[in-house]
Amino acid sequence: MLIQGGTVVTEKGAARLDVRIVGESVAAIGRLSPEQGETVLDATGLFVLPGMLDVHVHIDDRIGECDLADTFATASEVAVRTGITTLAGFVTQGSDETLSEAVARCVARGIGRSHCDFTFHLTPTAWPWDWGEVEALVARGLSTFKVYTTYREAGLFTDYGRMAEVMARLVGLGARLLVHCEDDEMLASAGASRIDPTDPRGHAVLRPERAEVVAVGRVLEIAQRTGCQLHVVHVSTVEGATAIGEARRHCLVSCETAPHYLLLDETALAGDDGHRFLCTPPLRPAVTRAELDATAATGAFDLYATDHCAFTRADKDRHRDDVRDVPKGLAGIGAFVPLMFELLVKRHGLPLAELSTRLAANPARLLGLYPRKGTIVVGSDADLVILDPAGPERPVVSSLSDCYESFPGRTTTLDVRHVVVHGRPVVRDNALIPGARPGGLCLAGA
């Protein structure tokens, strides 16, 4: 296949180039002429970007008493329709299984059902970690692990002492640690007795900004001391982002934020349907959101990711009278690329190359997949998105499942004309090509 006439946009810039695909890989880039019998996809006037990666999604799993709204089938369909060709979810070890068994359980859910490639970050819950098993999983390509500085009752909490042990061991494996930063002691002292359980704004009282800032500081100190590669997920405070930026001089640290922290604020919690917008960390005050938005324009965040965690309307509504029991999470996969385009390119005037950097190249680097993924070079996977930034205005759709829209009223002019996964066209004009079968691969070495 020859993609001809478009402007190729990668993290290195934009240029008028053609892209030849042979099999599942990019075979040539330049000013190319069709070969005899070659299929030509006309991209004249359009932009050709590497497939995007959303490296923080919760799908096809169960959290607490609720099944997540999106399966691999629904999540991957809305992903490819909007230009995402790789998803990274999470494997959390159950109490009755090894970490390897947990990986196998999650991989099986995606095989034959996903329209895009997928992989996982791993959360061991048994202590001490089985380091022989961890080493074997890293050898399979699963080199990112996630821990939490909170969620003690759910069995996910890792104290700072244990975190230091983990980081010290991961250094020798060349692995990276992802951390959810909210200081557990600060959350415990936040004062649940002071909130009205029927008011969704109480969730922000229970999880104050300071808890994130304190945890970020502690985790950065450990990373500097051990030399471990650290990635801080869903940063929701300017102080946290600033501390991470300053720490880059001393340690190997990266960070992400999610679209809802840049576009929504705690006023969404004030209405009758405020429970729909409960997530963790919570939506912050309008002034914090504005500061985060300005920070994003400076390149403070290495990458963006959705923290997609969609629950059905029924599950969100069931406990609406007590914010402590409402499942926390927002849908975001389908809104991700369109809204980040609207924010970075249209609002802040950044080049499309910035979108390619923060949504493709840097996420691929986080997963250890660059330059196989996240860019367009000879030999890279032929995961490509052909889009028109000036298409007809249309509403964003965060999920195809029966969940509340996280960004009601938001629209985009980003028109995804074609999406190619492993050299195979799967999307035309924002919709799956009729008859397209799930062909996504598990990247976990299984």
Q: Which amino acid is at 370?
A: Y
b/e string for 284-316 if b means 16 or more Cβ within 10 A?
Answer: beeebbebbbebbeeebbbbbbbbbbbbbeebb
CA 157 to chain centre: 22
Sheet with strand 13-16: strands edge to edge: 13-16, 7-10, 47-50, 384-388, 415-421, 424-428, 431-432
d(CA 89, CA 107): 10
Whole-number Cα distances in Å, 235 to 256, 288, 301, 304, 349? 6, 12, 9, 10, 23
**Pairing state of beta strands 47-50 and 7-10?**
parallel
pLDDT tens digits for 305-331? 999 999 999 999 999 999 999 999 999
Cβ-contact 14, 7 below 8 angstroms: yes
pTM of the predicted model over 0.95: yes
All structural domains of the chain:
51-366 (3.20.20.140)
**Pairing state of beta strands 84-92 and 52-54?**
parallel
Q: What pLDDT score was predicted for residue 192?
A: 63
In 3D space, the residue among 123, 48, 113 whose CA is nearest the CA of residue 79 turns out to be: 113
CA 230 to chain centre: 16
Residues 6+ apart with CB under 8 A from 193: none
Instruction: Give every residue of the chain whose pLDDT is below 70, as ranges.
Output: 191-193, 445-446
Q: What pLDDT score was predicted for residue 193?
A: 61
d(CA 366, CA 137): 16
d(CA 414, CA 392): 8
H-helix or E-strand containing 84?
A: strand 84-92
Q: What pLDDT score was predicted for residue 93?
A: 97
Cβ-contact 242, 266 below 8 angstroms: no
The conformation of residue 268, written as its DSSP 8-state character, comes to: G
In 3D space, the residue among 56, 84, 118, 122 whose CA is nearest the CA of residue 301 turns out to be: 56
Both structure tokens of 7: 């402007």
Cβ-contact 215, 262 below 8 angstroms: no
Q: What pLDDT score was predicted for residue 212?
A: 98
Q: What pLDDT score was predicted for residue 332?
A: 99
In 3D space, the residue among 83, 87, 84, 157 whose CA is nearest the CA of residue 127 turns out to be: 157
Residues 6+ apart with CB under 8 A from 101: none
Residues 6+ apart with CB under 8 A from 403: 69, 70, 310, 311, 312, 313, 316, 331
Both structure tokens of 277: 């917008």
d(CA 57, CA 11): 23
d(CA 122, CA 140): 12
Phi/psi for 79 (5° steps) reads -65, -55
